[in-house]
Structure 1
Amino acid sequence: MMFEVLNVIGTIAFALSGVLVAMEERYDLMGVYILGFITAFGGGAVRNLLIGLPVSALWDQGPLFTVAFVVMSIAFVFPKILRWTLLRRGIFFDAIGLGAFSVQGALFAQSMGLPLSACIAAAALTGTGGGMIRDVLAGRKPLFLQKEIYIAWTLIPGVIVGLGILTGPAELLAIVILVVVLRLCSVYYNWRLPNRAV
């Protein structure tokens, strides 16, 4: 049940993130739908390829495609509902998608009996894959390459879920909230990982 809830949350958040980026780039309606769908479902498709599932598994998510379509249509018709986020480049929705999908990706790998490394990789790819494809298509520098900490936050659900430390619905939701808060804080406070020049 929690897996499906996270799937819906992540799909809505990433669909809105894609819509916001498309509107900022002044794409037409079709461009909005394409960018929104790719953002919402791209991460899951990349994850499935990595762990050996057929790409056709993506098309078994008919209800989620409908949810994404309805949400994107509402956001396009009433764009003012997106302005309250006050964060550049759809960071708010992207952070929610990152949290929900990274936990969902880790759960997906764990449910298949895959090792910890696969749970970490699935969390990272599911959480960041759609946003990465979105930014590349929009001609932007991908968020996971920005100076603020991004993909590193997916290690938290990857490790915790992969080790089976916290598995209850409330605990999983708490992990999602933690990732969202940490991602937003990393943008707001400009947190960065150490780097070194050659």
Structure 2
Amino acid sequence: MTWDILNIIGTLAFAISGALIAREEDYDILGIYVLGFTTAFGGGLVRNLLIGIPIENTWMQGNLFQIAFFAITLVFLLPNYWLDQIKNWIVFFDAIGLAAFAIQGANYAVSVSAPFAAVIIASTITGAGGGMIRDVFAGRKPMIFHSEIYALWAAFAGFAIGLGLVRGPYATAFLLILIVFLRIISVRFNWNLPHNIPYENKRNLGS
């Protein structure tokens, strides 16, 4: 049940996130569906390739494709004045998708007896991969590389699950809420991982 709930939460959240960004970029109906579906399923697809899960497993999720289709259609039909009101929720939906899929990816890796490092990688790729593909398709710099702390929270889920610190639905729900909270406050307070000095600044310092 926990597995199915995480799948549904992550699929809904990322499908909405992708469709909202497609609307923001003024994509047509095909672009909205493509961006919504790739955001919802892209991370899991890459994860399966990395840890050796048969690729056809991705296409055996008919109910999740229906859920994503419904969510994307709903976003497509939203009037523009409603869209303006909920654009600020993109970060929230993205945080939910990140948390749900990071936990699901880590659990998936543990279920196939993957080593600890692979659990962290699966968690990170599943949680952040869909958003990265979405940003590339939308012509944006992927958040995973420049935005407020993003992929680190997905890796944190893999670390906790790989060490066996998260067991049972209550602990899983707590971890989900914690990651969403950490992602949102990292945006709110502009937390970032260390950056190097930009090249232009380096040149100015050198002169």
Q: TM-score interval w.r.t. the shorter chain?
A: over 0.9
Shift of 1:30: 1.0
Contact 2:20 2:87 in 1 (8 A): no
Please state how far the C-alpha of 1:195 moved relative to its aligned partner.
Answer: 2.7
Distance 2:166 2:130 in 1: 26
Q: Does 1:49 align with 2:53?
A: no
Correspondence for 2:24: 24
CA contact (8 A) 1:75 1:81 kept: no
Extract unaligned runs of 5+ from structure 1.
Answer: none
Letter in 2 for 1:182: L
Give the aligned partner of residue 103 of structure 1.
Answer: 103
Letter in 2 for 1:134: R
Deviates more, 1:28-37 or 1:152-161: 152-161
CA distance in structure 2 between the partners assigned to 1:44 and 1:103 by the alignment: 12
Q: Deviations over 1:85-107 (max 9, x none)?
A: 4527x211111100000000000
**Alpha carbons of 1:81 and 1:16: their partners in 2 closer, same or farther (altered >3 Å)?**
farther
Structure 1 position 144, deviation (Å) = 0.6
SS in 1 for 2:113: coil
Aligned to 1:78: 78
- Secondary structure of 1:53's aligned partner: coil
Between the aligned partners of 1:36 and 1:156, the Cα distance in structure 2 is: 26
**Does residue 8 of the first structure (1) align with residue 5 of the second (2)?**
no
Range 42-51 or range 76-85, more displaced: 76-85
* Amino acid aligned to 2:88: L
Question: How far has the Cα of 1:81 moved from its partner?
Answer: 5.6
Q: Note the residue ranges of structure 2 that are not aligned, 5 or more in a row.
A: 203-207
How far, CA to CA, are the matches of 1:81 and 1:7 in structure 2? 27
1:82: how far off? 5.1
**Cα deviation digits, residues 101-149 of structure 1 (max 9, x gap):** 0000000001111111111001000001111111101100101112411
Counterpart contact for 1:105–1:127, Cα < 8 Å: yes
Counterpart AA for 1:135: D
Report the Cα distance in structure 1 between the residues aligned to 2:194 and 2:132, rounded to whole angstroms: 22
Q: Pairwise CA RMSD of aligned residues?
A: 1.5
